[in-house]
Amino acid sequence: MPRFIVITGGVLSGLGKGVTTASIGKILQSKGFSVVPIKIDGYLNTDAGTMNPYEHGEVYVTDDGGEIDLDIGHYERFLNMDLGKENNITTGSVYGEVIRKERRGDYLGKTVQVIPHITNEIKQRIMRVAKKANRDFVLIEVGGTIGDLENMVFVEALRQLAAENPHKFLFVHVTLVPTIVSGEHKTKPTQRSVRELQSLGIQPNVIICRADKELSKNIKEKIALFCSVPKNSVISNPNVESLYEIPLIFEEQGLSDIIFKHLNLKPRAQDLRKWRQLVKRSKYPHGEITIVIVGKYAHLEDAYLSIKEALHHAGIKNDVRVNIKWVEAEDIEDAGPEKYLRDADGVIVPGGFGARGTEGKISAIQYVRENKIPFLGICYGLHMAVVEFARNVCGMKGANSTEVDPKTPYPVIDLLPEQKKTSEKGGTMRLGAYKCEIKRGTTAYKAYGKTQILERHRHRWEVNNKFRKRLEAKGLIISGINKDRNLVEIIELRNHPYFIASQFHPEFKSRIERPAPLFDALVRAATPLSK
């Protein structure tokens, strides 16, 4: 049976439980153990698919079409592994399944209650993932904050599971140690958060303290005393330049020794050397470039978290620091593209939904096309690149996507017939991994080095095949297609340093040890020595 490490949070959300979970997993991997993570979210949504980025940051997509919390992205990037829908458990999915079972009569007429029926469903899901994955460790992150009403049932299920499996569970509590004006760290929020957890029947074994700087020995001893943990089990988690430093910071404080001692295990290996080298390379690059991201949620960086990380990965590989300049597409509509893009080494137009900001994106794409600035369009960015080309190169005045203008005379981007038949929003897109065949000799082929790839999608609208010949006749290269359904996957232009757009989201498969090829090629094209 595997060991279980449960990560909870206190005081406030957004403390970095996801990165903490991923960092613990990376440390365990370096010690020769296999891991599988699970993210628990207390919201009533079945999944994150219909959530606005302002609500919850980006929606992360897995190979099997899961629309999931962005913390799954941290797990995949740190642990270099692919996860799926089953690695995310939400209140909505749990209650939905229990209600379906009740309607079928599975409970044999019993009164269906939170305990034991909801808690049993949660435990069964966790154990199902554990059994299927067959890993040494199961890491379980509980989203939100201890004390949130929506999380109570999950905490109770985990308490029961720990009681049923003695000596197999370790609880890690992530909390905030704020600094007041005098510069002093205050421990009271941590003390109260731990007491809240204890009142629910769980005693944390490790307390990880988020703070602006390293905690002093005295502060650690105070937390240990009031929270009933050993002094060496209070781990400092200060602000860092790169998230990828965190496993190293934890390991310097002996976190793996604490885990192994509590769970009666011994390390099988000792290897964070490559990870240290990557972190060092990210902190001390030999060059610097600026990539402008023109989006509709540009002031909310978490909406494009995977793009931000993919650029970081590509920067490490190409030995440059990638400075990201965030630009709202609507600002370009107001002031024009030159003000924001003239000093850019490269430009990305990412995904999004709806009409807002589209003309700004189109103006930005025209500017980079005409001024030979390296460009990557992603999903909606591909749509806008096709619209821009149709209007300004092919002479299709008023060309557009029917998402933006249902009455456009040139619907170069349109819904597939089956999409036109449904009014539902959740889970109805082209989701998950689809095959793409790449033409040899193209920019896409140079980036990937192969003709067959598998990339993740999240969209409804597609390039309208009725206009493909007309677009290609004017020089638009369709370098990647999905042969199964004859759908455009990649477009590009000749006689340009780097102009490419993908219908899929390459950022979702980028890893620090294996950058996404289209991002790698963009950063390489944008780096001065390669120009």
> Number of structural domains, the chain?
2
3-state secondary structure 15-58: CCHHHHHHHHHHHHHHCCCCEEEEEEECCCCCCCCCCCHHHHCC
Q: Can you list the pairs that 124-132 forms with residues at least 24 positions away whose Cβ atoms lie under 8 Å?
A: 125/86, 125/89, 125/94, 126/38, 126/89, 126/157, 126/161, 127/161, 128/86, 129/36, 129/38, 129/86, 129/87, 130/2, 130/4, 130/36, 132/86
**Token pair 């089956």 in the structure block, residue:** 418
CA 477 and chain centroid, separation: 30
pLDDT band (50, 70, 90) for residue 381: very high
Q: Are residues 225 and 190 in the same domain?
A: yes
State the DSSP code for 501: E
pLDDT at position 419 over 80: no
Q: Can you list the pairs that 130-134 forms with residues at least 24 positions away whose Cβ atoms lie under 8 Å?
A: 130/2, 130/4, 130/36, 132/86, 133/36
3-state secondary structure 355-384: CCCHHHHHHHHHHHHHCCCCEEEECHHHHH
Tokens of 334: 């107001």
Dihedral (Cα; 184, 189, 190, 195), 10-degree rounding: 150
> What is the spatial order of strands in the sheet that 400-401 belongs to?
400-401, 411-415, 461-463
- pLDDT at site 41: 92
Q: Are residues 368 and 402 in the same domain?
A: yes
Apex CA 145: angle with CA 178 and CA 136, to 5°? Answer: 105
> 12 or 37: whose pLDDT is higher?
37
Domain boundary among 242, 277, 312: 277
Catalytic residues: 379, 505, 507
Note the pLDDT tens digit of each residue in 144-176. 999 899 999 999 999 999 999 999 999 999 999
Q: Are residues 307 and 359 in the same domain?
A: yes
Per the CB < 8 A criterion, the answer to whether 74 and 57 are in contact is no
Helix axes 273-283, 305-317, angle to 10 degrees: 100
**Rounded mean pLDDT of 121-131?**
97
Reduced DSSP (H G I as helix, E B as strand, rest coil) percent helix, strand, coil of the chain, to 5: 40, 20, 35
This prediction has a pTM of: 0.92
Q: Are residues 446 and 341 in the same domain?
A: yes
Q: Are residues 165 and 19 in the same domain?
A: yes
- pLDDT at site 426: 54
Which helix (H) or strand (E) covers residue 484, if one does?
none
**Rounded mean pLDDT of 2-21?**
94
- pLDDT at site 33: 97
Q: Are residues 261 and 306 in the same domain?
A: no
Tokens of 125: 């899901």
Computed over every residue of the chain, the mean pLDDT equals 93
Domain boundary among 277, 309, 338: 277
Q: Are residues 255 and 321 in the same domain?
A: no
Tokens of 476: 């638009």
Note the pLDDT tens digit of each residue in 44-72. 888 887 777 767 678 999 999 999 889 99
Per the CB < 8 A criterion, the answer to whether 1 and 162 are in contact is no
Q: Are residues 262 and 312 in the same domain?
A: no
State the DSSP code for 264: T
Q: How buried is 160 (Cβ within 10 angstroms: 0-12 exposed, 13-18 middle, 19+ buried)?
A: middle
- pLDDT at site 270: 83
Per the CB < 8 A criterion, the answer to whether 143 and 40 are in contact is yes
- CATH number of residue 375's parent domain: 3.40.50.880
- pLDDT at site 345: 97
- Residue 499 in 3-state DSSP? strand
Q: Are residues 261 and 298 in the same domain?
A: no
Q: Are strands 411-415 and 461-463 parallel, antiparallel or unpaired?
A: antiparallel
Residue from 4, 33, 39 nearest 18 by CA: 39
- 490 contact partners, CB below 8 Å, separation of at least 6: 436, 438, 442, 444, 478, 479, 480, 481, 500, 501, 502, 503
Q: Are residues 153 and 214 in the same domain?
A: yes
Question: Could you tell me how many helices (H) and strands (E) the chain has, helices first?
Answer: 20, 21
Which helix (H) or strand (E) covers residue 445, if one does?
helix 443-448
CA 266 and chain centroid, separation: 32
Note the pLDDT tens digit of each residue in 203-239. 999 999 999 999 999 999 999 999 999 999 999 999 9
% residues pLDDT > 90 (the chain): 84
Report d(CA 76, CA 63) in Å as an integer.
12
Note the pLDDT tens digit of each residue in 255-284. 999 999 999 999 998 889 889 999 999 988
- 343 contact partners, CB below 8 Å, separation of at least 6: 290
Q: Are residues 43 and 140 in the same domain?
A: yes
pLDDT band (50, 70, 90) for residue 109: confident
- 423 contact partners, CB below 8 Å, separation of at least 6: none
Domain boundary among 277, 299, 334: 277
- CATH number of residue 167's parent domain: 3.40.50.300
Residue from 315, 306, 307 nearest 288 by CA: 315
Report d(CA 139, CA 83) in Å as an integer.
13
Q: Are residues 260 and 320 in the same domain?
A: no
Burial 106-137, CB ≥16 within 10 A → b, else e = eeeeeeeeeeebbbebbbebbbebbeebebbb
Please provide the DSSP assignment of 187-241 as one string.
-HHHHHHHHHHHHTT---SEEEEEESSPPPHHHHHHHHHHHT--GGGEEEEE--S
Q: How many residues does the chain have?
A: 531
Dihedral (Cα; 49, 85, 237, 302), 10-degree rounding: -20
Q: Which domain holds residue 374?
A: 286-530
